[in-house]
Chain A
Amino acid sequence: EADIYQTPRYLVIGTGKKITLECSQTMGHDKMYWYQQDPGMELHLIHYSYGVNSTEKGDLSSESTVSRIRTEHFPLTLESARPSHTSQYLCASTAQESNTEAFFGQGTRLTVV
């Protein structure tokens, strides 16, 4: 069982609110990722991190920002939520070595009304 946790699982919030999606892992993984996935669709990489103080933008442009102050924690923030941000956000982590299994959290399903 993967030791990677996301909170909240579901979030309904009004337009213009600031939100932070939490992601924590207890596996000591250096590499962490955020993917965005619409229902029934593919996953799109929006952010990744090699380790503490490292953050990079992914393939899909996103208005969200991330931080990596601690190895185990990789939160994603939206300063001003909009209906277009409605989606599922999945956090994942991998070990340091290349080409290893990614462990995914259960996701946060965000609805902006």
Chain B
Amino acid sequence: QQPVQSPQAVILREGEDAVINCSSSKALYSVHWYRQKHGEAPVFLMILLKGGEQKGHEKISASFNEKKQQSSLYLTASQLSYSGTYFCGTSKFSGGGADGLTFGKGTHLIIQP
């Protein structure tokens, strides 16, 4: 079942903060976040696992509320390079990525100078 992302689009000025939400009607074992710039491949941001473990590369924080089946991505002091479409993906099984991810419809983020 496809996770639901909100908002659909955000326009910010450089330096402002943003929160992107991802929720599911099914139990979540993990939530994966990716950013895709126009014409480019999606790039990994973070994985949040049931139990609190996080794996990520960038200075972007996120939370995972297992009971509410929700995850939020926090973009603080946004930079122009943060522009793009953010996708959350969920895995069907606790085993994770063996069967691929089901992605939300994405949140389009535009950062203006």
**A–B Cβ pairs within 8 angstroms, 20 of them:** A42-B2, A42-B106, A43-B89, A44-B103, A48-B99, A98-B94, A98-B95, A98-B96, A99-B30, A99-B55, A99-B91, A99-B97, A101-B44, A101-B47, A101-B55, A102-B32, A102-B97, A103-B44, A104-B43, A107-B41
Taking Cβ atoms with an 8 Å cutoff, the residues of B that contact A are 2, 30, 32, 34, 40-44, 47, 49, 55, 57, 85, 87, 89, 91, 94-106, 108
Expressed in whole angstroms, the minimum distance between the Cβ of B22 and any Cβ of chain A is 12
Cβ contacts under 8 Å, B101 to chain A: 43, 45, 102
Majority SS of interface residues in chain B? Answer: mixed
Interface range for A: 20 to 34
Cβ contacts under 8 Å, A103 to chain B: 44
Majority SS of interface residues in chain A? Answer: loop
Whether A45 and B102, one on each chain, are in contact in the complex, defined by CB atoms closer than 8 angstroms, is yes
